[in-house]
Structure 1
Amino acid sequence: MLQNAAQTYQSNQVTTATPADLTLMLYNGALKFIKQAKSAIEEKNVAKAHEASLKVQNILYELMSTLNNDYPISKEFAKLYEYMLQRTIEANVRKDLDILTEVEDLFVQFRDTWKEAIQLAKKQG
């Protein structure tokens, strides 16, 4: 019962979110899955680490597919996302914590900058 309520709440959150909020959710989700992958690697749980890494990769694919190419900055985002994707794949193959930390740091920077942009847009709007 409680699980269904949580799933309904989460589903409603996604359906009613703005595109900006959805991007923020993707960044936060990626950070959550990177932490899971790192924890699984430390626990020597290869399958769990692989599964979490695949989720990060899927988020990066989603971020790349939703870029608005009408803006020149989108090309720069695409390059960074592609780099992060390649590094995540490499980390998954090698089960490398250092590479995951590098990708995690990039996601933190994206997320924090995105949060600031949302706040500025709300103040101006």
Structure 2
Amino acid sequence: MSLNKQYQAYQDNAVNTASGGELTLMLYNGCIKFIKQAIKDMNDKRFEAKNTNIQKAQNIIQELMITLDPSYEISGQMMPLYEYMQFQLKEGNVKNEAAFLEEVLGLITEFRDTWKEVIIKTRQKQYPQGASV
């Protein structure tokens, strides 16, 4: 098996065995990756690649919006922030200004870091010995 196929198998296994919280963390990490790449593409004047990476980030945010559980009060506070991020990504894409993307990158990074802490604290309660992400 080639190295690329082995890596893909590893990734597939990671997704298939991940908890809901870990999947959300993966979505945040993917969104961060695509925004950073879009900023790089913008700076390198690779506009088609920039557009593709922004669309990938938007798709991830859309997935995060769809999976919000409305039974939690925090969901009502997160939805407008996700909508704002979507708007800022669109504006950054249309106006070709990295500042819009950098703002979203900061917000999504904060969400990711907070989510990671939630996972760690939850694991520490469930498994008091050696919880980490």
- 1:81-113 per-residue CA deviation (whole Å, 9 max, x = no partner) reads 111011111111111111111000001100111
Alignment partner, residue 27 of structure 1: 28
* Percent of residue pairs bearing the same amino acid type: 44
Structure 2 unmatched runs, 5+: 127-133
Structure 1 unmatched runs, 5+: none
Alignment partner, residue 11 of structure 1: 12
Alignment partner, residue 81 of structure 1: 82
Alignment partner, residue 68 of structure 1: 69
**Higher radius of gyration, 1 or 2:** 2
Residue 102 in structure 1 maps to residue 103 in structure 2: yes
Query: In 1, Cα distance between the equivalents of 2:17 and 2:115?
Result: 19
- 1:30-71 per-residue CA deviation (whole Å, 9 max, x = no partner) reads 010011100000000100000000000000000000011111
Query: What is the total number of aligned residue pairs between the two structures?
Result: 125
Per-residue deviation at 1:124? 1.2
- One-letter code aligned to 2:70: N
The TM-score with structure 1 as length reference comes to 0.98
Query: In 1, Cα distance between the equivalents of 2:54 and 2:64?
Result: 15
Query: 4+ runs of 1 displaced by more than 6 Å?
Result: none
Aligned with 2:27: secondary structure? helix
Alignment partner, residue 50 of structure 1: 51
Alignment partner, residue 38 of structure 1: 39
Query: In 2, Cα distance between the equivalents of 1:95 and 1:49?
Result: 9
RMSD: 0.6
